[in-house]
Amino acid sequence: SQTIHQWPATLVQPVGSPLSLECTVEGTSNPNLYWYRQAAGRGLQLLFYSVGIGQISSEVPQNLSASRPQDRQFILSSKKLLLSDSGFYLCAWSLRGRERGRGSYNEQFFGPGTRLTVL
Amino acid sequence: AQSVTQLDSQVPVFEEAPVELRCNYSSSVSVYLFWYVQYPNQGLQLLLKYLSGSTLVKGINGFEAEFNKSQTSFHLRKPSVHISDTAEYFCAVSDPRSNTGKLIFGQGTTLQVKP
C-alpha cells in the first residue's frame, strides 16, 4: 500500500531564517506531487506541483520554492522566511495517467502536514 | 476554467440530526468531483468521489453525495451525525483530461456537531 510522509510535524522558525520541508511517498512510482498551504481559518492554496523529477510548476509567486530531486521526494524551501509564511503545509500525491492523453485519476492522497510558525 | 463554491462556511447541527453540506461547481467540461474531510491538525482524507456512472455516491463514515449535472451540484449528506463528524469538509473538482491531476478546492465548510 502507498504511504506519504512529511517532516517535521511542527516547526517554529524566526523571521529571516531558511526553511526545508520534506515529503516522501512510498509504494508507488512516477506520482504527481503537490504542495499546499492552509493559512489560519482559510482554505487550501496550491503552491507547487510536479509531474516528474526536476519538473516544478509554481501556482503563485511567493517567497517559497520547491524541488523534486528524486521520483518520490518533494521538498519545499525558503531562503528567508516571512511572518506570512506561517501556516499548515500539506503534501499530496496522485497517480500519473497510464496512457498518453487519458489524464490521471486525479484523486489526491494527503500527508499528515507540517505546522509552521514564523515568529 | 473550473471553480468550486461551498455555500456555507459553518454548519452547526445537533448530534443524530441529518446534515447536508452544499457544493456547487462551474465547468465547461465534464469533471471529476470529490469530498474530503480534515480533522484538526491532520491532512485531508477522501470521503467519496464521483468519476462517472451512478449519480449517488456512497463514501466512508456513512456519508453520501449526489451529482446533479443540471444544477452543477455535488451536495454531501449524512442521515445522522455523530460528535466525531466535527471537522472541516472540502469539495473539489478536477478535469479528467488533465495530466497534472490538479484539484480545485472550495473554501471549506466547518461542520460543528453539538451534543
Summarised one tens digit per residue, pLDDT across range B10-20 is: 999 999 999 99
DSSP string, A68-106: EEETTEEEEEESS--GGG-EEEEEEEEPPPSSTTS----
Q: Which of B103, B104, B105, B109 to mutate to test the interface with A (most CBs of A within 10 A)?
A: B103
pLDDT confidence of A97, banded at 50, 70, 90?
A: low
Query: What residue type is assigned to position A11 of the chain?
Result: L
| pLDDT on residue A1 | 84
pLDDT confidence of A98, banded at 50, 70, 90?
A: low
Grid cell, residue A48, equals 507547487
B51 vs A contacts (CB less than 8 Å): 105
* CA-based nearest residue to A74, from A103, A42, A97, A108: A108
pLDDT confidence of B99, banded at 50, 70, 90?
A: confident
A109 vs B contacts (CB less than 8 Å): 46
Question: How far is the C-alpha of A27 from the C-alpha of A72, rounded, in Å?
Answer: 9
Contact A108 B108 (CB under 8 A): no
Going by the DSSP 8-state scheme, the letter that residue B59 receives in this structure is: -
A5 beta partners = A24
Contact B107 A46 (CB under 8 A): no
Closest CA–CA distance from residue A79 to any residue of chain B (Å) = 26
| pLDDT on residue A40 | 77
Grid cell, residue A22, equals 520534506
Q: Which of A3, A21, A107 to mutate to test the interface with B (most CBs of B within 10 A)?
A: A107
Residues sharing a CB contact under 8 Å with residue A69, sequence separation 6 or more, in sequence order: A53, A54, A75
| pLDDT on residue A70 | 95
Cβ neighbour number for residue A12 with a 10 Å cutoff = 10
**Interface residues on A facing B, Cβ-Cβ cutoff 8 A:** 32, 34, 42-44, 46, 49, 51, 57, 88, 90, 92, 94-97, 103-113, 115
Contact A107 B42 (CB under 8 A): no
pLDDT confidence of A18, banded at 50, 70, 90?
A: very high
pLDDT tens profile A29-68: 889 999 999 987 778 999 999 999 999 999 887 889 999 9
Grid cell, residue A106, equals 486525479
Place of cell 482554505: A43
B48 vs A107, B51, B57, B59, CA distance in Å?
A: 10, 10, 7, 5
pLDDT tens profile B73-90: 999 999 999 999 999 999
Kindly state the helix (H) or strand (E) to which residue A46 belongs, with its residue range.
Answer: strand A44-52
- Choose the closest CB to A32 out of B96, B101, B106: B101
Question: How far is the C-alpha of A34 from the C-alpha of A108, rounded, in Å?
Answer: 9
Question: How far is the C-alpha of B8 from the C-alpha of B23, rounded, in Å?
Answer: 9
Q: Mean of the pLDDT values across residues B55-70?
A: 95
B18 vs B8, B15, B61, CA distance in Å?
A: 16, 9, 14
Cβ neighbour number for residue B115 with a 10 Å cutoff = 6
On the CB side of A74, how many CA atoms lie within 13 Å of its CA? Answer: 31
- Choose the closest CB to A49 out of B45, B46, B102: B102
